Structure 1
Amino acid sequence: MAPSSDKGKVAAYDPAPRTEHYEFGGGLGALGVTLAVPFFTYWLAFACTADQCPPWPMSKFVAFHSNGLEAMRASAWWESLWSWEAASVYLAWYFWTVACAIGLPGKEIEGVELRNGKKLKYTMNGECLPSCRFPLADSPYCLFPAFSTMMVTLGCIAAWTYKFGPGALLYIPNHWPQLISAALAWSAFLATFVYYQSYIGTQMLALGGNTPNPFYNASLWFIGRGLNPRLGDFDIKAFNEMRPGLILWIVIDLSMVAYQYSTIGRVTDSMILTVAFHSWYVLDAEFNEPAILTTMDITTDGFGFMLSVGDLLWVPFTYSYTAYYLAFHPKDIGLSGCAGVLAVQLVGYWIFRSSNNEKNEFRSGRNPKNLTSMQTERGTRLLTSGWWGMSRHPNYLGDWIMAWAWCLPCGFSTPLPYFYPIYFGILLVHRQTRDDEACAKKYKKDWETYKRLVPWRIIPYVY
C-alpha cells in the first residue's frame, strides 16, 4: 500500500484519544512478548556454543534442549549474566552514538503530517559531502555519502584494529551474555523513562496509548504511550530506530569475524557473505534514513518497551546470530554455494529496494514510471500498478527473501540459524495485519475497493 502524502488538515484534534483496539490481544499478550524477547535472546546464546549446537531432526532438537538445560545452568556464562564493566561498555557505546547524532553535521528533514496537522522536524546526519554529489541529478543523496555515525564508527574501528589488532573486538563474543543483559536493562530503563515522561504536560499519545482498561494501561509501558517522545529537539524514538542497535549489529558481525580469524587463522567464505549481506542491509538503511519517517513505527506506534527492546536488544543480538554461529562453527560453502546464495540475496534486495523507491517517489509527488493509482475520498491516492499493484506489501516479500539468504551460508547441520526467517515471516504477517486494519479505518470503503484491485497481501498468488 502506498498512499501519497496527506495534505488535508485535521478538523478536530485530540492529543489523547481513547484506544479502540488492544495490540497483542491485551495485557496478557503484551506481558508474553515482554518475557519472550529476552528469553529467546538468552536461549539462542546458550543453546549453541563452541562446544555444542542442537542438531536436526526436530526430535533430536527437542531432546537436546531438554538434556541441555542442566548444562546451561552450570555454564560459567549462565552464572555471570551481569557485569558492571560490560554495562559500562554498552552505555559508552550508546552515548557515543548520541554524541555523534548531536555533534556531527546533518540535514533537517520534515516528517509526515500528524493528527494535529503539524510535521515534526528531524536531523538526519547522512548529509552529503559537497564534493561527491551526483553532478547531473537533483538528488539529496551522494555517491559516497557521509552518513556520519556509521562511517565515523567504522573508521575508528578500522584505525584501531590496524594499529592494535582485533583484540578489542573480541570483547563482544567473550562477554556476550553480559552485553545482552546490559542492552536489556537499558531498554527497560528507556521504556520506563518515556512512559513517565508521557504524563508530563500535554503531548500527543499513540492511538494505542490511552485505554479505559486499568490492566491494559499497565502494559502501556510495553506498547508505548507517547507517540513522539523528545528531549528538546532530540527525537528518542527515531534515534533508537536507526542508530545504536542497527550500527551495533555490524560491529557485532565484525567482532565475530575477529573471533573466527583468531581461532582458525582465516575468515571463511560463508562468514564473508553473511557479514557482507548484513552490512549491505544496514548501510542501505542508513543511506535511506529519511524513509523511516513514513513507517508505522514512527507515524503510529508509541515508544515503549516493545520498540526499545526491539531496537537495542533484539536487532543487534539476534539479527547477527548467523555471524555468531559461524564464528563458533566455521564452514566454507565453495564458489557454487556462494553464487547461489548471492542470487537469492540480489533477488530479495531488488524487490525490496525498487518497491520502496516506487512508494517513496509516489509519496513525494513524483511518478517517473507513470504508475496508475486510485483516488480516495481522503484526497490521497493509492498505487495500483508496479510492485504495489502485485501485492499490498511487496517490500515485505523482498525483505523476507533476503532473510533466507542470510541463513543459507550456515548450512543445514542445525535449525538454529533459521530461526530468523521463521520469526521474521511471522513478524511481517503481523505487521501486514496491523497495517491493513489501520488502512481500513483510514480509507473506509475505498480500502475495500483497493483490496479488490490488489488482492494479494505479501506474496502474489500465494498470500
Structure 2
Amino acid sequence: MLLSASILPAWACADAPCLDVRTLALALAGFTAFFFALLYASRFLPGREVMGFPQPDGARKRYRLNGMSLWVLTHMVVIAGTLHFDLSLSPLVTRLFWPLFVAANLFSIAWALLLYVRGRARLGDASASAPGLLGAIRDFWMGVERNPEWRGVDLKLFAYQPSLIGLWLFVLGFGYLQYESFGYLTPQMVLYQACWWLYLTTHYHHEPGLLSMWDIVAERFGFMLVWGDLALVPFAYCLAGWYIAAEPTPMATPLVLAIGAMFLFGLWVFRGANAQKHRFKVDRDARIWGQPPRLVGGRLLISGFWGIGRKLNYTGEIVLYLAIALCSGCGSYVPYLVPLWLLSLLTHRAGRDDRRCRAKYGALWDEYCQHARFRMFPFLY
C-alpha cells in the first residue's frame, strides 16, 4: 500500500479495518508482551552498577544500567528475524499503528492506576498531596512514589526502554515500508534512519547521565511520565517517517548533506552540554574541553557549553529534531509539530529554570549570567 505525502497517518490503514475489536485485542496483547519482554530483559541483562544522585530526602539508589545491552539485543532480534524469518516491520506503521496507539493509552492508564494504588498502599494517606478527590487526581497524574521498583528494576528508569525501543521499531517500519513499496530507500530515508540510530545509540552510551536528570532524581512516577514514555514519544516523534516513506523522489545530495550536518551539530551540542553537566556533578575536577573547570562562586560551571549559554542543551535538542523533520521536505506541516512543540516547551522551561535558579543563587546567578549571556538562542533569547 502506497501512501500520499499530503495525508495524515490515519489514512495509512484506510484499506483495512485497523480499529476493529480483533485487531485492537491483538495490538493490546502485542504491546503487553513487548512491555514485559523488555521488563524481564532489563532484570536479567548485564549492565553497570551505578549509584544515583541524592534525592530530595538525601537517599541514594543503586541502578543497573543495561540499556545498551537491550539496544544491542533489539538489533540482533530484528536482524535475525529479517534474514531468517522474512520479518517485516511495515505492518507496525500501516495496519497496527493506530491499534497500538490505543493499546499504549489503555496500558498507560492501567499502569498508572496500579502505581497509584500500590503507592498509597505502601505509603498510606500521608503520601497524598491533598485530601479528597482533587488530591487523588493530582497524585494519579503526578504519581505517589518517586522510585517504584519491581524485583530490583527501577520502573521510572525502565520506562525509557519501551519508549525509545518502540520508537526505533516504528522508525525501522517506515524503512521497511518504503523498500517494500518502491524497491529502494531514498537518500532522505537513509538519513532519517541514520539520525535516529545515532540519537538512540548516543542515548544509551550516555545512559549514566539520566541519573542526574530532574525527573529521575526528584519527580514522582505517575500518569504524566508513564503516558509520555509509552504513548507520546514513540507515536509522535516518528511523524516525519510517514511522509518520507511516501515520497519516491530522492532529495538532492547537497540538501541531504546539509541536513545531516545540521543534525550532527544539534546532537553534538545536546549530548555535549548534558555530558559536561553530568561529569561536573560526578567529579568537580573533571576536565572540560581539555581544561580544568571554571566556576562562579565555586558552584556554577562556566566552562564548555555552560559558559556560552545557560540552556544550550535545549537548543541542541530543538536543532536535531528540526533536522529530522527536514528529512521529510516541505510537503506537510505535520513533521514539524514535534520541533515546534519542543520549542514551546523548552523555551518555557528555560524561563522557569532561570527564575528558579535566580531565587536559589541570588547575586551569584546574576554573576553567572554575565558569562553565559544567552539562555538558548544567541542575541534572541
**TM-score normalised by structure 1 residue count:** 0.74
Aligned residue in 2 for 1:180: 101
Q: Whole-Å Cα distance in 1 between the matches of residues 272 and 254 of structure 2?
A: 27
Matched position secondary structure for 1:113: coil
1:240 aligned onto 2:159: yes
Alignment equivalent of 2:324, drawn from 379, 394, 406 = 406
Aligned residue in 1 for 2:74: 153
Greater than 6 Å deviation, 4+ residue runs: none
Letter matched to residue 185 of structure 1: L
Letter matched to residue 371 of structure 1: P
Summarize deviations over 1:38-63 as a string: whole Å, max 9, x none: xxxxxxxxxxx924625xxxxxxxxx
Higher relative contact order by CA 8 Å / sep ≥ 6: 1 or 2?
Answer: 1
Letter matched to residue 326 of structure 1: I
Shift of 1:77: 5.4
Provide closer, same or farther for how the CA distance between residues 457 and 261 of structure 1 changes in structure 2, counting only shifts above 3 A. same
Provide closer, same or farther for how the CA distance between residues 230 and 193 of structure 1 changes in structure 2, counting only shifts above 3 A. same
1:103 aligned onto 2:44: yes
Provide closer, same or farther for how the CA distance between residues 452 and 196 of structure 1 changes in structure 2, counting only shifts above 3 A. farther
Shift of 1:343: 1.4
Q: For the aligned residues, what is the CA RMSD?
A: 2.9
Letter matched to residue 97 of structure 2: W
Alignment equivalent of 2:297, drawn from 371, 375, 388 = 375
Q: Whole-Å Cα distance in 2 between the matches of residues 52 and 444 of structure 1?
A: 52
In 1, are the aligned partners of 2:178 and 2:184 still within 8 Å (CA)? yes
| Aligned counterparts, 1:409-428, within 5 A | 409-428=327-346
Q: Whole-Å Cα distance in 2 between the matches of residues 435 and 80 of structure 1?
A: 45
Provide closer, same or farther for how the CA distance between residues 51 and 461 of structure 1 changes in structure 2, counting only shifts above 3 A. closer
Matched position secondary structure for 1:410: coil
Matched position secondary structure for 2:61: strand
Q: Whole-Å Cα distance in 2 between the matches of residues 324 and 234 of structure 1?
A: 34
Q: Whole-Å Cα distance in 2 between the matches of residues 214 and 152 of structure 1?
A: 44
1:114 aligned onto 2:36: no
In 2, are the aligned partners of 1:77 and 1:177 still within 8 Å (CA)? no
Letter matched to residue 422 of structure 1: L
Shift of 1:418: 1.0
Aligned residue in 1 for 2:315: 397
Shift of 1:438: 4.2
Q: Whole-Å Cα distance in 1 between the matches of residues 239 and 317 of structure 2?
A: 17
Matched residues, percent identical? 28
1:226 aligned onto 2:108: no
Letter matched to residue 156 of structure 2: K
**TM-score normalised by structure 2 residue count:** 0.89
Provide closer, same or farther for how the CA distance between residues 445 and 227 of structure 1 changes in structure 2, counting only shifts above 3 A. farther
In 2, are the aligned partners of 1:166 and 1:258 still within 8 Å (CA)? no
In 2, are the aligned partners of 1:390 and 1:460 still within 8 Å (CA)? no
Aligned residue in 1 for 2:25: 84
Q: Whole-Å Cα distance in 1 between the matches of residues 192 and 42 of structure 2?
A: 28
Q: Whole-Å Cα distance in 2 between the matches of residues 172 and 413 of structure 1?
A: 19
Q: Whole-Å Cα distance in 2 between the matches of residues 415 and 169 of structure 1?
A: 23
1:362 aligned onto 2:280: yes
Shift of 1:247: 1.1
Aligned residue in 2 for 1:353: 271
Summarize deviations over 1:273-302 as a string: whole Å, max 9, x none: 011101110111111111001111111222
In 2, are the aligned partners of 1:172 and 1:179 still within 8 Å (CA)? no
Q: Whole-Å Cα distance in 2 between the matches of residues 444 and 187 of structure 1?
A: 40
Summarize deviations over 1:367-423 as a string: whole Å, max 9, x none: 3122311236xxxx1112321122111111111111111011211121111111101
Matched position secondary structure for 2:53: strand
Summarize deviations over 1:100-140 as a string: whole Å, max 9, x none: 101111221111011222211111115xxxxxxxxxxxxxx
Shift of 1:357: 2.5
Matched position secondary structure for 1:267: coil
Gaps in structure 1 of 5+ consecutive residues: 1-48, 55-64, 127-146
Alignment equivalent of 1:340, drawn from 248, 251, 258 = 258
1:269 aligned onto 2:187: yes
Letter matched to residue 28 of structure 2: A
Matched position secondary structure for 2:51: strand
Q: Whole-Å Cα distance in 2 between the matches of residues 363 and 310 of structure 1?
A: 27
Alignment equivalent of 1:201, drawn from 109, 122, 125 = 122
Gaps in structure 2 of 5+ consecutive residues: none
Q: Whole-Å Cα distance in 2 between the matches of residues 52 and 169 of structure 1?
A: 17
In 2, are the aligned partners of 1:275 and 1:323 still within 8 Å (CA)? no
Shift of 1:87: 0.9
Give the aligned length.
375
Provide closer, same or farther for how the CA distance between residues 160 and 425 of structure 1 changes in structure 2, counting only shifts above 3 A. same
Shift of 1:322: 1.1
Provide closer, same or farther for how the CA distance between residues 172 and 339 of structure 1 changes in structure 2, counting only shifts above 3 A. closer
In 2, are the aligned partners of 1:331 and 1:410 still within 8 Å (CA)? no
Q: Whole-Å Cα distance in 2 between the matches of residues 277 and 52 of structure 1?
A: 21
Alignment equivalent of 1:253, drawn from 148, 154, 171 = 171
Alignment equivalent of 1:125, drawn from 42, 63, 66 = 66
Shift of 1:216: 5.4
